[in-house]
């Protein structure tokens, strides 16, 4: 089924920020657009606001004057739902309450034609439950835009339990015709992005609650080592702590309080205190006038070790060997293997290992280092050690990474550290989602890159890190925290233990 014809009128019900954004997208694409809001006069004011934004697009040479004038002529405020009778698509962007949305669509069903596509922009409610109030739920879909809708390309096209595939396809093709990047997903709590993104926030908050590091340090490690555009604390301050926690609570409750989605008590206290982020002037950080962002914990300069010895296979951290050699530090390899190693032995006898889900206190004189998206480009590395790690080993480990041009942040003896445990959990939820028919691997990677600006999609990360990496790390974490929060999914277990197709079959 093809996209809606541009001559077909599109209606948007609800004229807040999201409603106006969706209306602008449909309008610029070429559709006649009707705006409706239950509050008298609000639709007209929304039309004026959209017109002003079109003027700014002309000023920025993103829209021609004639195209703006034509778009304005196609934009009509509606005084009643009855004026939407001839629309081919109605998108709802009203209050996030199930009863309100159900009542709206019941009313619309008695007004629009039988082939009109009905869509909700809900981000937290069940598409199936909203559509369950309709006589013909087959034409009901979710069209989840991301704010600001005119700028962000991703649209999650959500099929409820009763949604007909032909209508879902039409919604998908229409979103693509509007210049968006649609991804198809089943109706699951959080859809794709809000389901799979939960560990990004949850693990940062968990490290903080365990007194492993302060917010500024955790954010710096996520940005400068993990390659994320923003850290979890600064991002939730931008989103709003109440909004972010509400999504987390919704996903957790919808999954019958699954421990993998457990909300953060520290964030709950922040919300209860009214510190909601930038909009209130204070969240995890102080956003008041003149306030200065705290600096991340950064180690003092230390001398690099005279040499390092490589043992075994370092896998995802193999690139460090080339960086160490380029820094002029001799790399010795007792096995005469100059390519990879499992750990680096320092002159003190201490060992440097990539975070693996274990704790430093379990082994004498160990220092763990965190995962990096790209060790060459990373500007900060987190290290973790126990109270029994020798001062000489700590100094040599610090000096080694500093010699590679990295800032060093020490965190507590937290298994899986920061980036590693976060990425492993994101990968696990992604494999679980595919196994349960939520979406394809390709659509999940696209959604996470475009919806929340992750540097890699979960499956891209998994291929880079190796088939068993996430499973082994989470299994080790689960042994140390048997609550179930880190228990690898059956889907990840199967992936880790399946034969690697690149290795061929044994004869």
Catalytic residues: 123, 144, 156, 194
- Residue 365 phi, psi (nearest 5): 60, 45
Annotate 279-301 with three-state secondary structure: HHCECCCECCCCCCCCCCCCCCC
Q: How far apart are CA 323 and CA 332, in angstroms?
A: 14
> Residue 252: left (phi > 0), alpha (psi -120 to 50), or beta?
alpha
From the centroid of its chain, how far is CA 126?
20
Specify the 3-state DSSP secondary structure of 119: strand
**DSSP assignment letter at 7:** T
Q: Give the C-alpha separation, 186 to 340, whole Å.
A: 42
What is the DSSP annotation of 299-356?
Answer: PPP-PPPS-EEEEE--GGGTHHHHHHHHTT--EEETT---S--EEEE-TTS-EEEE--
**Quick check: 215 and 233 in contact, CB under 8 A?**
yes
What number of residues does the chain have? Answer: 507
Alpha carbon 468 to its chain centroid, in Å, reads 22
DSSP string, 61-89: TSS-HHHHHHHHHHEEE-SSGGGGTT-SE
Q: Are 294 and 213 in contact, with CB atoms under 8 Å apart? A: no
- SS3 sequence of 416-448: CCCHHHHHHHHHHHHHHHHHCCCCCHHHHHHHH
Dihedral, 100, 101, 103, 108 alpha carbons, nearest 10: 140
Q: How far, in Å, CA of 412 to CA of 360, rounded?
A: 10
Closest to 393 (Cα-Cα) out of 376, 410, 379, 371: 410
């Amino acid at each position: 089924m093809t996209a809606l014809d541009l001559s077909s009128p599109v209606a948007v019900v609800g004229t807040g920020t999201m409603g106006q954004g969706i209306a602008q997208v449909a309008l610029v694409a070429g559709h006649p657009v009707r705006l409706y809001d239950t509050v008298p006069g609000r639709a007209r004011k929304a039309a004026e606001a959209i017109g002003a934004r079109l003027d700014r697009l002309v000023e920025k040479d993103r829209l021609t004057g004639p195209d703006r004038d034509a778009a304005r002529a196609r934009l009509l405020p509606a005084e009643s739902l009855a004026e939407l009778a001839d629309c081919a698509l109605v998108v709802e962007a009203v209050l996030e309450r199930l009863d309100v949305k159900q009542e709206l669509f019941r009313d619309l069903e008695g007004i629009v034609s039988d082939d009109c596509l009905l869509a909700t922009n809900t981000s937290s409610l069940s598409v199936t439950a909203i559509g369950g109030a309709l006589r013909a739920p087959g034409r009901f879909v979710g069209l989840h835009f991301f704010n600001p809708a005119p700028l962000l390309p991703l649209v999650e096209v959500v099929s409820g339990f009763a949604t007909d595939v032909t209508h879902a396809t039409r919604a998908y093709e229409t979103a693509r015709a509007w210049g968006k990047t649609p991804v198809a997903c089943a109706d699951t709590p959080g859809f794709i992005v809000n389901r799979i993104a939960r560990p990004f926030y949850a693990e940062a908050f968990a490290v903080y609650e365990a007194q492993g590091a302060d917010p500024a340090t955790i954010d710096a490690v996520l940005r400068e080592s993990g390659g994320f555009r923003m850290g979890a604390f600064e991002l939730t301050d931008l989103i709003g702590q109440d909004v972010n926690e509400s999504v987390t609570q919704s996903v957790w409750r919808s999954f019958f309080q699954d421990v993998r989605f457990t909300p953060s008590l520290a964030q709950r206290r922040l919300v209860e205190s009214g510190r909601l982020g930038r909009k209130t002037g204070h969240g995890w950080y102080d956003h008041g006038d003149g306030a200065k962002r705290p600096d991340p914990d950064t180690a003092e300069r230390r001398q690099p070790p005279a040499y390092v010895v490589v043992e075994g296979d370092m896998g995802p951290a193999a690139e460090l060997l080339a960086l160490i050699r380029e820094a002029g530090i001799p790399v010795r390899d007792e096995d005469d293997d100059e390519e990879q190693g499992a750990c680096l032995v320092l002159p003190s006898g201490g060992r440097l290992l990539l975070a693996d889900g274990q704790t430093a206190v379990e082994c004498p004189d160990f220092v763990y280092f965190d995962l990096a998206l790209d060790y060459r480009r990373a500007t900060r590395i987190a290290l973790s050690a126990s109270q029994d790690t020798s001062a000489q080993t700590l100094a040599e480990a610090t000096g080694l990474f500093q010699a590679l041009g990295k800032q060093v942040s020490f965190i507590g003896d937290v298994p899986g550290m920061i980036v590693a445990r976060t990425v492993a959990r994101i990968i696990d939820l992604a494999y679980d989602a595919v196994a349960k028919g939520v979406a394809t691997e390709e659509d999940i990677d696209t959604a996470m890159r475009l919806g929340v600006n992750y540097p890699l999609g979960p499956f891209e990360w998994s291929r880079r890190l190796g088939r068993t990496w996430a499973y082994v790390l989470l299994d080790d974490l689960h042994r140390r925290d048997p609550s179930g929060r880190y228990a690898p999914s059956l889907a990840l277990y199967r992936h880790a233990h399946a034969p690697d197709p690149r290795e061929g079959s044994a004869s």
